[in-house]
Chains A and B, each alone.
Chain A
């Protein structure tokens, strides 16, 4: 389990013409074992923040630490699940899951054991020797999750992992994820622009503003799980967050109108 501290983080993208302030003054303390959702309209900097925690693109200023250690590069202690799955198509399901362990030069027998357990955990046993091209989107995302779980990393970063899935598969995987999180107790940062998804999953929802990306609302969610999306409490929160996101969405739309006018 690991605690993540995000301290005064700024991120500026220098583009020809003008600079884009993607993140401004982000301060978050994420407790070990917490399930946090980053919520906001497109372009508000959710991926940028997640990539900074993953170590792919470091902040322009400010620091992010995990258990006190500053992040400088990507690493297996912060496993990432990408929206576009990013499975290696030339590896079978089992090989994809085993890859991270092979990199760590684990004993082959141990790798085998772990892979089998994960295949079991994610209901993939029958698909172990398939290639990703022969799997549905939901299946692929299960493999991607298993691949990260194999690392046994205390932190899991997920960038709209269920964004491309149909509603039923999505709910199914959300439940799986909660089950695994419960069982393995990881710290999860989960990016989404679905308000319902964030309320269904998170202990805490961080709503972000559009350009510059700042924290608009830091909302704890205390409803007991499993949560009922049709309950009054759920819907009240959904309306409230919906209003916040809509404001930012509106600013995004205005921005695009302005850009179009300039063009």
Chain B
């Protein structure tokens, strides 16, 4: 009951806004080309979601159901985010662990990192195209860069804040360097690392949309840019809403994963 109440409370403002928007459209306050009505967007979204062709012989029902443009675009974008993120975070994690644990490695690499970090991933676009041409690779590259720094910085910070008492306790139990690293330092740093992962995925998601506007011909970012060329503003908005929903789904998933991995942690906020 309380949940229902909370939900109604949270839905109040969006619903009101939608109603105003719809009313405005019906009264002809907004140009149909520039700002189509919510119903028009919803209809377009539905068409975008549904399969384009009738089910073919031999095609499974599920495959057909997801053969529409939107599922295909969402899948392409998601695939890029995940691949790019895995590359970026996969490099950042061991590197961050090393930099966090060894002051010498830190001093060696930190100046370079501090110079590279403020460069927005978007600024790498020309280089990305030059180096990787068209298709997925430049996207992977840009997304990996977007995910790399948040994960790196948080991993370094996470390792550096590990309470010395844990290290002393582990040394007392006879832990080797390796055990210390994998069973003490890494888990002690996970709250920080996971916070970095969350930020990194958020960045990856921003970068994927941008990168799709340059070098590929599918994905949600590509689709809304394409729709602009035809002045399909209903499709642009439908695409944007899809981006929002997908982002929300990813963030919810990551946050669930965090809560599971950090179930031992005291300062759990969610």
Residues of A in contact with B (beta carbons under 8 Å apart) = 54, 56, 73-76, 78-80, 82, 84, 86-92, 99-100, 103-104, 131-133, 147, 151
Since A80-B172, A103-B175 are in contact, a sample of 11 more A-B pairs with Cβ atoms closer than 8 Å, ordered by chain A residue number, is A56-B168, A76-B172, A79-B173, A82-B168, A88-B184, A88-B187, A90-B187, A92-B264, A100-B174, A131-B263, A151-B174
A86 & B265 in contact (Cβ 8 Å cutoff) = no
CB of B176 within 8 Å of the partner chain: yes
Kindly list chain B residues whose C-beta atoms are within 8 Å of the C-beta of A86: 165-166, 168-169
CB of B179 within 8 Å of the partner chain: yes
Kindly list chain A residues whose C-beta atoms are within 8 Å of the C-beta of B188: 88, 90
CB of B228 within 8 Å of the partner chain: no
Q: Which of B165, B166, B172, B187 contacts A74 (CB 8 A)?
A: B172
Complex Cα gap A118–B209 (Å): 56
Kindly list chain A residues whose C-beta atoms are within 8 Å of the C-beta of B170: 88, 99
B173 & A82 in contact (Cβ 8 Å cutoff) = no
Q: Which of B165, B166, B173, B184 contacts A100 (CB 8 A)?
A: B173
Contact residues of B: prevailing secondary structure: helix
Residues of B in contact with A (beta carbons under 8 Å apart) = 165-166, 168-176, 179, 183-184, 187-188, 190, 263-266
* Nearest-neighbor residue (CB-CB) of A84 within chain B: B165
* Nearest-neighbor residue (CB-CB) of B175 within chain A: A103
B169 & A75 in contact (Cβ 8 Å cutoff) = no
A133 & B264 in contact (Cβ 8 Å cutoff) = yes
A80 & B169 in contact (Cβ 8 Å cutoff) = yes
* Nearest-neighbor residue (CB-CB) of A80 within chain B: B172
Complex Cα gap A56–B188 (Å): 21
Q: How far in angstroms is the closest Cβ of chain A from B243?
A: 35
Most buried by A among B175, B176, B179: B175
Kindly list chain A residues whose C-beta atoms are within 8 Å of the C-beta of B263: 131
Kindly list chain B residues whose C-beta atoms are within 8 Å of the C-beta of A104: 174
Complex Cα gap A99–B184 (Å): 11
Most buried by A among B166, B171, B187, B263: B171
Complex Cα gap A243–B170 (Å): 39
Q: How far in angstroms is the closest Cβ of chain A from B222?
A: 42
A89 & B265 in contact (Cβ 8 Å cutoff) = yes
Contacts between the two chains (Cβ within 8 Å), count: 65
Complex Cα gap A74–B165 (Å): 13
Kindly list chain A residues whose C-beta atoms are within 8 Å of the C-beta of B168: 56, 74, 80, 82, 86
Interchain residue pairs with CB less than 8 A apart (19): A54-B172, A56-B168, A56-B172, A74-B168, A79-B172, A86-B169, A87-B169, A88-B169, A92-B264, A99-B173, A100-B174, A103-B175, A103-B176, A103-B179, A133-B264, A133-B265, A133-B266, A147-B173, A151-B173
Q: How far in angstroms is the closest Cβ of chain A from B260?
A: 12
Kindly list chain B residues whose C-beta atoms are within 8 Å of the C-beta of A80: 168-169, 172
Kindly list chain A residues whose C-beta atoms are within 8 Å of the C-beta of B190: 90
A76 & B173 in contact (Cβ 8 Å cutoff) = yes
Kindly list chain B residues whose C-beta atoms are within 8 Å of the C-beta of A91: 264
Q: Which of B166, B174, B176, B266 contacts A88 (CB 8 A)?
A: B166
* Nearest-neighbor residue (CB-CB) of A101 within chain B: B173
Complex Cα gap A80–B265 (Å): 24
Kindly list chain B residues whose C-beta atoms are within 8 Å of the C-beta of A132: 264
B176 & A82 in contact (Cβ 8 Å cutoff) = no
Kindly list chain B residues whose C-beta atoms are within 8 Å of the C-beta of A88: 166, 169-170, 184, 187-188
Q: How far in angstroms is the closest Cβ of chain B from A156?
A: 11
B266 & A89 in contact (Cβ 8 Å cutoff) = yes
Complex Cα gap A131–B268 (Å): 14
Complex Cα gap A37–B196 (Å): 46
Kindly list chain B residues whose C-beta atoms are within 8 Å of the C-beta of A131: 263-264
Most buried by B among A56, A90, A131, A132: A90
B264 & A90 in contact (Cβ 8 Å cutoff) = yes
Complex Cα gap A53–B197 (Å): 42
Kindly list chain A residues whose C-beta atoms are within 8 Å of the C-beta of B175: 103
Kindly list chain B residues whose C-beta atoms are within 8 Å of the C-beta of A100: 173-174
* Nearest-neighbor residue (CB-CB) of B187 within chain A: A90
Q: How far in angstroms is the closest Cβ of chain B from A94?
A: 13
Complex Cα gap A84–B174 (Å): 19
Q: How far in angstroms is the closest Cβ of chain B from A160?
A: 14
Check A89/B264 contact, CB under 8 A, given A84-B165, A103-B179.
Answer: yes
B165 & A82 in contact (Cβ 8 Å cutoff) = yes
Q: How far in angstroms is the closest Cβ of chain A from B33?
A: 56
Complex Cα gap A132–B184 (Å): 15
* Nearest-neighbor residue (CB-CB) of A79 within chain B: B172
Complex Cα gap A56–B190 (Å): 26
Complex Cα gap A37–B183 (Å): 33
B172 & A103 in contact (Cβ 8 Å cutoff) = no
Complex Cα gap A54–B168 (Å): 10
Complex Cα gap A104–B187 (Å): 20
Complex Cα gap A41–B167 (Å): 27
Q: Which of B169, B172, B176, B179 contacts A78 (CB 8 A)?
A: B172
